Amino acid sequence: MVNPAGERSGASGSGGRRGRASTSQFGALGLNLADPRVEASVLGLLDTVEVELRASVASADPFVTEAARHLVEAGGKRFRPLLVALGAQFGDPTSAQVVPAAVVMELTHLATLYHDDVMDEAAVRRGAPSANSRWTNSVAILVGDYLFARAADIAADLGPEAVRLQARTFARLVHGQIAETVGPRADDDPVTHYLHVIAEKTGSLIATSARFGGMFGGAAPEHVEALAGYGETIGVAFQLSDDLLDIASESVQSGKTPGTDLREGVPTLPVLYAREADDSDASSVRLREILATGPLTDDALHAEALGLLRESPALKRARETVRSYAEEARAQLAPLPNGPSRSALESLCDYIADRTS
């Protein structure tokens, strides 16, 4: 399973340090917080979330505490708490319910990562040994379940609507994972299926994060809905942009070694576009031949396919798709009042459009 902003296995640069939030986090996500008051509010909220995350996973069993804190302490961009914090700016970010709402979202996300690593047989997560490789698959699954339970417990303190939304979001995550695991049916369009999977697995939780920020910050209902729509679309856009970076980047900009998805046979958007193309030029035909072989474990074939993809019309088409999602996310912000908080959300749209151009 691949998550937005390069959160699959790979070095995060944070090691075990997660103390205070910093503006470098925002830079890594392309977020521009030009207003010092908004920046101070968001940083303060994220700092408190870090403290509460550690407290929320503590157990009477020291082993459970250690295993549950494994990914908390490994770091990450905290994209979902960030969306909660930004959403709360359209109401009262000092509301006592904002931080617990952010913790619920991050715990739900972390729980999925424990399960993902078992399904993917991953050895590394955020630059550290994955829980399943450090302990066992069974332990990783059970710790993921424990984090889901803790998230539900905290959501209960926020009220029945929070519990309902968290449960429905979790259901979407599971549906997305099942759809990805089973694959498209014979009569399904592979691209449509893939975009649906990303919306369910990635967009859903980011949408609820933005919604929670507005809800528990006391924003107007129409603003809450705008935030939720933006969150889902920007989440899909981030994931799609990571697909492109896996092909186009010469560095580890995506958080992974370039071409990782290609080597593992993961059919991301540029690959799907290349497979369905009917171009008759020699490069396109050769690319389709290579992609039809499945996972590209042969170094020479991998390098050839990566080079062909980088020059292909499929990559250009995928870039246009990413840009269209970024622009759609921007349009969904229209009901929100102009100001530094809306500008910050718009800066994410600009970043996504630019990072893959």
- Alpha carbons 185 and 282: distance in angstroms, whole number: 30
- Note the pLDDT of residue 58: 87
Look at phi and psi of residue 7 and say left if phi exceeds 0, alpha if psi is from -120 to 50, else beta. alpha
State CA 150 to chain mean position distance.
Answer: 21
Cβ pair 212, 285 in contact under 8 A:
no
- Note the pLDDT of residue 265: 83
Name the architecture of domain 23-355: Orthogonal Bundle (1.10)
- Note the pLDDT of residue 123: 65
> Which tokens sit at 353?
């459009």
Helix (H, G, I), strand (E, B) or coil at 205: helix
**Could you give phi then psi for residue 246, rounded to 5 degrees?**
-60, -25
Give the amino acid at 35. D
- Alpha carbons 9 and 36: distance in angstroms, whole number: 34
Cβ pair 252, 10 in contact under 8 A:
yes
Helix (H, G, I), strand (E, B) or coil at 355: helix
pTM score of the predicted model: 0.87
**Could you give phi then psi for residue 79, rounded to 5 degrees?**
-65, -40
Cβ pair 105, 84 in contact under 8 A:
yes
> Which tokens sit at 86?
């930004």
- Note the pLDDT of residue 347: 92
- Alpha carbons 235 and 227: distance in angstroms, whole number: 12
- Alpha carbons 283 and 287: distance in angstroms, whole number: 6
Cβ pair 338, 87 in contact under 8 A:
no
* Long-range pairs, 350-355, Cβ under 8 A, ≥24: 350/30, 350/326, 351/29, 351/30, 351/31, 352/30, 352/234, 352/237, 352/238, 352/241, 352/322, 352/325, 352/326, 353/322, 353/323, 353/326, 353/327, 354/30, 355/30, 355/241, 355/245, 355/253
- Alpha carbons 150 and 153: distance in angstroms, whole number: 5
Q: Under 8 Å CB-to-CB from 64, ≥6 apart: which residues?
A: 143, 146
> Which tokens sit at 5?
């902003």
Cβ pair 34, 340 in contact under 8 A:
yes
> Cβ atoms within 10 A of the Cβ of 153, count?
13
> Among 52, 97, 79, which Cα is nearest to 218's?
97
Cβ pair 214, 87 in contact under 8 A:
yes
Integer distance in angstroms from the first to the last C-alpha of the chain? 25
DSSP bridge partners of 124: 129
- Alpha carbons 187 and 76: distance in angstroms, whole number: 38
- Alpha carbons 235 and 238: distance in angstroms, whole number: 5
| Per-residue pLDDT in tens (0 to 9) along the chain, 357 residues | 434 444 443 333 333 344 566 555 665 666 777 788 999 999 999 999 999 999 998 888 888 888 877 777 777 788 999 999 999 999 999 999 999 999 999 999 998 888 777 776 666 665 666 777 677 788 888 888 999 999 999 999 999 999 999 999 999 999 999 999 899 998 999 999 999 999 999 999 999 999 999 999 999 999 999 999 999 999 999 999 988 988 887 654 445 577 888 888 888 999 999 999 888 889 999 999 999 887 888 889 999 999 999 999 999 999 999 999 999 999 999 999 999 999 999 999 998 888 876
Give the amino acid at 66. E
- Note the pLDDT of residue 25: 61
> Which tokens sit at 212?
């929670």
